[in-house]
Amino acid sequence: MKKTITILVMFIFAVLVGSIPVQAVTATANLNVNKTTVKPGETFTVVLSVTCANEINGIITSYSYDTDKLELISGKAGTNFASLGENNNIELIVSKTGVTTADVYILEFKAKESIKEETSATVSLSNITVSPMTGDDATLNAISTPITIKPETNQGEGNTTPTGGTADTGNTTPTGGTTDTGNTTPTGGTIDTGNTTPTGGTTDVGNTTPSGNTSYNETTNTVRNTNSETNNNTSGKKTSVLPYTGMQPVIIGMIFVISGIAGIMYLSFRKYKNI
């Protein structure tokens, strides 16, 4: 009889204990970044924020990231938390009571400088467990945040390369091979810069202008006719030639002056002869 009563009491006690409600723990976790788009070599931070209505006692989780695109600079526990984890494992315990919402862990990354094209990287946290001050632990789903890595676009140099592979530097090369720099040298002429001009219409400025093509340099002093000048200069020595432009008016002026002087002298001679 006594044995039956004991079993009955134990059964009733088990039913009563099982019927006691267990307080459900509500907790959330989020990842916040200070920059969603970065340039290669630029740093950014990822912050793990946790909210728990029953006060936070501790957090356990682990993080991962794209190691081929991102470089980990540092990882540290937030205010009022101490870190016990190693490597990519985060184990935090609270250092004060009454904390229900906090930034519990901060990760700092740098986008790798070797990235040359726009791409996306991801920072993720998994196996998140939040331990409250009272109640059971809360297990949360994995969370992640994307980061866009966008290299700076190279600015144009102001030149364009037309179809066919010719670089446009602001000058035009007309059909036939003549380089147009905005100046013109008559066909068959050469530029005299004080150097010898070989037969065939070349310009001696350190470079050679092919026969049949023309070039012009604004710093030149004299434009001569190749056929007449170079044929007379067979010795290869430098020949100085006065510019043709302006010669005729000077000669005519000199003739007038000499004629005037001669007339004055003639009149003076006749005057003295009559005396």
The pLDDT tens digits for 78-101 are 999 999 999 999 999 999 999 999
Task: In whole angstroms, give the CA distance from residue 213 to residue 16.
Answer: 111
Q: Tokens 């400025």 appear where?
A: 205
Q: Say how far apart CA 54 and CA 25 lie, in whole Å.
A: 7
- CA distances 238 to 54, 78, 105, 162, 229, Å, are 102, 85, 84, 42, 11
Domain 25-149, CATH among 3.40.50.10610, 3.40.50.740, 3.30.230.10, 2.60.40.680: 2.60.40.680
pLDDT digits (tens, 9 = 90+) for 177-188: 544 445 444 444
* pTM greater than the 0.85 cutoff: no
The pLDDT score that the predictor gives to residue 270 is: 72
Query: Per residue in 191-212, pLDDT tens?
Result: 444 444 444 444 444 444 444 4
Where in the chain are all domains bearing CATH 2.60.40.680? Answer: 25-149
Higher pLDDT, 225 or 104: 104
